[in-house]
Amino acid sequence: MRLIYRELVPDDAGSLLSLQHSLDEETAFMLLEPEERQTSVQQVRERIESTGNSANSILIGAEADGELAGYISVSGGELKRIRHSAYIVIGIRRQFQGMGIGSGLFREMEAWARAEGLVRLELTVMAHNERGIALYKKCGFEIEGMKKKSLYIDGEWIDEYYMGKILE
């Protein structure tokens, strides 16, 4: 399998939206439920353009044999007091999980973040997402707190962990 990590560009909008729809169907660990995503290709294109114009935000994709297998989104703070910090979302198609793509996306993202002078990376993860938590800990993130009853999924309350990493 040929694997390439690269910054996503506006022409990737259709592939990214398709990947996000697949993730909505494949996993309950993403925020949106199936059929809830109402984003158009044009809106995704505009988001990619906006992200590309930001000094502290990026979208990185992982291509496996030319197919978008996963992505990591880094959204930096816009206000002066939080420009050093960024919030992360990651998603990897089920068929590509367990192949090191998540670790690779985090490596690429962290190299970029350090080069841009970011100091703090943060994310949230459902408390029962053991694979996700293991990946984040492996990549140097620490649990900083609990967000109780953060989500309501299939009639049940779900807690989320706040996780963070300080780049030194």
Q: What is the mean pLDDT of residues 5-19?
A: 96
Average predicted confidence (pLDDT) for the chain: 95
pLDDT value for 1: 84
Helices 101-116 and 130-138: angle between axes, nearest 10 degrees: 50
Question: What tens digit of pLDDT does each residue of 53-67 get?
Answer: 999 999 999 999 999
Helices 13-26 and 41-52: angle between axes, nearest 10 degrees: 110
Q: What is the mean pLDDT of residues 36-61?
A: 93
Query: Do the beta carbons of residue 13 and residue 45 sit within 8 Å?
Result: yes
**What does the alpha-carbon distance between residue 30 and residue 103 come to, in Å, rounded to a whole number?**
18
Instruction: Note the helical H segments in the chain.
Output: 13-26, 41-52, 101-116, 130-138
3-122, superfamily in CATH?
Answer: Gcn5-related N-acetyltransferase (GNAT) (3.40.630.30)
Question: What tens digit of pLDDT does each residue of 130-153 get?
Answer: 999 999 999 999 999 999 999 999
Domain layout of the chain by residue ranges: 3-122
Query: Do the beta carbons of residue 25 and residue 93 sit within 8 Å?
Result: no
**What does the alpha-carbon distance between residue 55 and residue 13 come to, in Å, rounded to a whole number?**
20
pLDDT at 117 over 90: yes
More confident residue, 66 or 36: 66
Question: What tens digit of pLDDT does each residue of 54-100 get?
Answer: 999 999 999 999 999 999 999 999 999 999 999 999 999 999 999 99
**What does the alpha-carbon distance between residue 161 and residue 123 come to, in Å, rounded to a whole number?**
8
pLDDT at 28 over 90: no
The greatest distance separating any two alpha carbons of the chain, rounded to the nearest whole angstrom, comes to 43
